[in-house]
Amino acid sequence: MRQYFWLLLLPAGSAAAQATAPLTVQLANVRLQVARNAAGQPTYAVQFGSKPVINTSRLGLALADGPGFEGPLEITGSETKDVDETWNPVWGEVKTIRNHYRQLTVHLRQPQQPGRRLDVVFRVFADGVGFRYEVPRQPGLSYFTVQQELTEFNLPANHKAFWIPGDYDSNEYAYTTSRLSEVNTTPIEAIQQKASPHRVQTPLMLKADNGLYVNIHEAALVNYPAMMLDVAPATYSLRSHLVPSATGAAAYLQAPEHTPWRTIVVSDKAPEVLASKLILNLNEPTQFPTTSWIKPQKFVGVWWEMHVNKASWNYADTSNIKLAGTDWSRLRPNGRHGANTANVKRYIDFAAQHGLQSVLVEGWNVGWEDWAGNWKEEVFDFVTPYPDFNVTELQQYAAAKGVQLMMHHETSGSVTNYERRQDAAYRFMKEHNYAAVKTGYVGRIIPRGEHHDGQWMVNHYNHTAALLGQHELMVDMHEAVRPTGLHRTYPNWLASEAARGNEFNAWSTGNPPEHETILPFTRLMGGPMDYTPGIFRIKLEAWNPAQNKGRQVHTTLAKQLALYVTMYSPVQMAADLPEAYEQHPDAFQFIKDVAVDWDDTRILAAEPGEYITTARKAKGREDWYVGSITDENPRQQTIKFDFLTPGRQYEATIYADAKGASWDQNPEAYQIRKQKVSSKSTLKLQLAPGGGAAISLRPIGR
């Protein structure tokens, strides 16, 4: 239904214009109001029930070319429409997703010549609001440059915030929890480069003293830079800040064009924030003609052994190498190269024995001798294996065992080089039966001056997902911009890293025990993360005493199991070495059993920074899996099994922290027990400091 319910004919800024009632749209508890402030600039506000979520906040875009949308704007009309539909993701946390919203389109116009027009489209859902700017086709505005976006999120109070510093090139930070007034990134060591003391990244998770949970992020980041947020500590106001391009401007666009959706998820229950599908719903359905080639999967890899200094990516210990002109077979091998044929076969055997689909191999291709830190253009060619990696032999060996090799393309940030070689690289993958690639963007970007999170790179990631889709190849991107739900459009984009993964435990002070209780409320709001769970050998000195002094994973072993459920991804690594798993076959059974694609998900309990308990039902099957994790505090969690099918008996296998376990003192102490449960059962789980528990539930007698 199209309905014009407000038409403003008065000149902007007139007293009568101010007095006009705001446009209001409500769905369930969420109410949106759109109006103009005293200066005639458009504003919006959001309420949840009677509680303010976003106080009156400015909207606007500043253009580099001529008068933009920063000044007063007339509202020339508006329309609403209701949508209530369902759709089925190719893979995901639930089988069916409801997309129910009320849309309000507000038409704006500059009051003076040239009278440029801008629309703002709002969608009000039961769990929040999304809105975006749309620049319609119009005379006198075709090519334009967004200098900055003027969107504000004025918060009503000094909320608790879970934040990482604004860094145009990295999300790989531990979270700080503080009041908004205390946001200050100065003491935090930069991963790449911090932009300003009060700039933070999205998804930003907020908790209000009145019990509301608010998450601010964006959806469908296409042809535009990522949005960061500048915090005004005294007023709790957030202002969007777009990552600049090499020229300093934010986005180069051509009308008709629109920005990504700005998203505000809100609930008075923390689990509902985790269950929200608002961001996915604001993304476009996939246009892929077929998707049956997209396979959620588990994998092992020649990977952790490099991170724990047991092996190397490089074949020789030489530096100052040029890609062109080096005869790799003449280099003296260092004897520690992980990606050698015999070692890869060991992983293939292990994957085949335990029913894991793929084996990632990093360091298989030439160039690692001289790959990082030099801002060098020609580092890798993505098609030439090292002399000790026999790609044909390995591909045949893997195929005979029903396993697939997973490709690795580390670009070292040289994206010009990668784009020139993508076609050849993907043809090489098809020729050798690879189905998925892990990409990486370590270091500074080439073209020089561009940032990981700027418009140019956003277009690169999206182009890469689309191109891989044409080849029917899947992708897992490391060091890419954080996700915004684009896996709905590109379901072959199984996961991204774009946060501080488990690997930081191997070569830094690591991830504090609370880290995994925050990530689902922040980074994972936009999409799955390749966190690389499943580390069993928690104290890393065991691999290399000299180089790993004091290094460890900051969880118990049982918590590593729980992460397969609490940290959703359709591609999950069993990240430790085969020999670590072979010492604990009983605990490894959970990793073998747990699903990666789900019919249903129930967030049973959650509080950011403290704990998460999640239950999920395997896709097309009757078995359920539960993961429960805590921060550094021990905790008891009571599980009510009322999500199980009534009248049916299940065998529960419970993988729990043993008595006396703790992440720092006794992390590998676990116990496994079995018991029968039904939908009427409850179970008390005792989680150790930094601990967790995992449960598999199988129906009996079927």
By annotation, the residues acting in catalysis are: 503
Picked from Ca ion, ligand NOJ, none, the partner binding residue 410 (CB below 5 to 8 A depending on kind) is ligand NOJ
DSSP tag of 636: E
How many C-beta neighbours within 10 Å does residue 384 have?
17
Nearest to 202 by CA among 226, 235, 170, 233: 226
Smallest distance from Ca ion to CB 478, Å: 5
Rounded Cα distance between 535 and 484, Å, is: 28
Say whether residue 440 binds ligand NOJ (CB under 6 A).
yes
Which CB sits closer to ligand NOJ, 93 or 503?
A: 503
Q: Are strands 204-207 and 257-258 parallel, antiparallel or unpaired?
A: unpaired
Find the binder of ligand NOJ among 503, 516, 631, 657 (CB under 6 A): 503
Smallest distance from ligand NOJ to CB 106, Å: 42
Q: Which of residues 539-578 bind ligand NOJ (CB under 6 A)?
A: none
Say whether residue 410 binds ligand NOJ (CB under 6 A).
yes
Nearest to 99 by CA among 78, 81, 126, 121: 126
How many C-beta neighbours within 10 Å does residue 247 have?
11
- Could you give the 3-state DSSP secondary structure of residue 662? strand
Cβ atoms 655, 625 nearer than 8 A: no
Smallest distance from ligand NOJ to CB 597, Å: 23
Say whether residue 478 binds ligand NOJ (CB under 6 A).
yes
Q: Which two tokens stand for residue 218?
A: 């964006």
Rounded Cα distance between 470 and 629, Å, is: 39
Smallest distance from ligand NOJ to CB 193, Å: 18
User: Binding residues for Ca ion, how many (CB under 5 A)?
Assistant: 1
Smallest distance from ligand NOJ to CB 532, Å: 7
Nearest to 457 by CA among 444, 469, 468: 444
656-670 exposure pattern, b = at least 16 Cβ within 10 A, e = fewer: bbbeebbbeebbbbb
Find the binder of ligand NOJ among 169, 218, 362, 453 (CB under 6 A): 362
Nearest to 85 by CA among 69, 70, 67, 103: 103
- Could you give the 3-state DSSP secondary structure of residue 141? strand
Q: Binding mask 9-48 vs Ca ion (x if CB under 5 A, - otherwise)?
A: ----------------------------------------
Measured in whole angstroms, how far is the alpha carbon of residue 352 from the centre of its chain?
Answer: 29
Smallest distance from ligand NOJ to CB 440, Å: 4
Which CB sits closer to ligand NOJ, 181 or 508?
A: 508
Which CB sits closer to Ca ion, 307 or 616?
A: 307
Tell me which amino acid residue 327 is: D
Cβ atoms 658, 671 nearer than 8 A: yes
390, exposed or middle or buried, with CB in 10 Å at 0-12, 13-18, 19+? Answer: middle
DSSP tag of 676: E
- The closest residue (CB) to Ca ion is 478
Which CB sits closer to Ca ion, 230 or 479?
A: 479
Q: Which of residues 438-497 bind Ca ion (CB under 5 A)?
A: 478
Which CB sits closer to ligand NOJ, 315 or 624?
A: 315
Which CB sits closer to ligand NOJ, 303 or 418?
A: 303
Find the binder of ligand NOJ among 476, 497, 516, 657 (CB under 6 A): 497
Picked from Ca ion, ligand NOJ, none, the partner binding residue 657 (CB below 5 to 8 A depending on kind) is none
Binding site for Ca ion (CB under 5 A): 478
Binding site for ligand NOJ (CB under 6 A): 303, 362, 410, 440, 442, 478, 497, 503
